[in-house]
């Protein structure tokens, strides 16, 4: 059935795309709400635009799930609980927390999907690479965060704690996904080679995250 020996099962791919799709739908929803925390209309519109882009990605993912013969709602459903739990536990209390969340979350998600894309067949790989976030988003977040820290260095410590909490919550939900969804775990374990390789993947993600935090002054 598969086009090469390590090509992942269709079921795993649908799971992955379903998880991504629901992630996009919720990212839209949460960023749209977080936009209200903006100090002015220009910034509010900027985060609203970032939110709107997630819906564009959502639509592409849903189109691919349908193309693979699956029902997008059914594909998303197993991930509703865990993704909602992440967002419920990490609702930003102010504009900067919202931006840090968008930046940290989008960056780790992009790194993860860039790695996973390499395990997929061309059509799915291209799609997953296409729904990575726009560089503009990261630039906007970095500019805002570094300006806020320059303005008041005390916010760096608070935001660093916040970023750590975001990552902690994300890892704990990721563990739940791994435990509950054998097909996804299998996709990654078989794709990377073995469990040790999965450990290395997580290490790479955390390393890249730490470097980003240092760059924007949130390593304290």
Q: What is the contact surface with a copy of itself in residues (CB under 8 A)?
A: 22, 25, 28-29, 32-33, 35-36, 40-42, 44-45, 48-49, 51-53, 55-56, 58-59, 62, 72-73, 76-77, 80
Question: Cβ 58 to a copy of itself, closest distance in Å?
Answer: 6
Cα–Cα distance measured from residue 168 to residue 35, given in angstroms and rounded to the nearest whole number = 24
Nearer to a copy of itself, 55 or 206 (CB): 55
- Residue 108 burial class via C-beta count within 10 angstroms: exposed 0-12, middle 13-18, buried 19 and up: buried
Question: Cβ 43 to a copy of itself, closest distance in Å?
Answer: 10
Here the contacts of 146-149 (C-beta below 8 Å, separation 24 or greater) are 146/216, 146/217, 148/96, 149/216, 149/217, 149/218
Nearer to a copy of itself, 44 or 125 (CB): 44
Nearer to a copy of itself, 85 or 189 (CB): 85
Nearer to a copy of itself, 84 or 115 (CB): 84
Question: Sign of dihedral through CA atoms 18, 137, 166, 199?
Answer: positive
Question: Cβ 24 to a copy of itself, closest distance in Å?
Answer: 9
């Amino acid at each position: 059935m598969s086009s090469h020996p390590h090509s992942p099962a269709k079921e795993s791919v649908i799971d992955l795309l379903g998880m991504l799709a629901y992630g996009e739908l919720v990212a839209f929803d949460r960023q749209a709400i977080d936009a209200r925390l903006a100090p002015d209309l220009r910034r509010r519109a900027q985060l609203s635009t970032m939110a709107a882009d997630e819906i564009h990605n959502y639509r592409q993912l849903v189109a691919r799930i349908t193309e693979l013969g699956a029902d997008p709602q059914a594909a998303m459903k197993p991930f509703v609980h865990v993704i909602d739990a992440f967002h419920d536990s990490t609702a930003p209390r102010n504009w900067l927390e919202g931006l840090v969340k968008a930046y940290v979350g989008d960056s780790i998600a992009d790194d993860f999907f860039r790695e996973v894309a390499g395990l997929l067949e061309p059509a799915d790989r291209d799609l997953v690479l296409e729904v990575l976030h726009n560089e503009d988003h990261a630039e906007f977040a970095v500019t805002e965060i570094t300006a806020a820290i320059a303005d008041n260095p005390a916010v760096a410590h608070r935001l660093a704690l916040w970023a750590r909490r975001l990552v902690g919550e994300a890892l704990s939900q990721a563990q739940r996904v791994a435990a509950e969804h054998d097909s996804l775990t299998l996709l990654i374990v078989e794709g990377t080679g073995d469990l040790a390789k999965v450990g290395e993947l997580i290490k790479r993600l955390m390393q890249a995250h730490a470097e980003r935090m240092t760059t924007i002054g949130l390593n304290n």
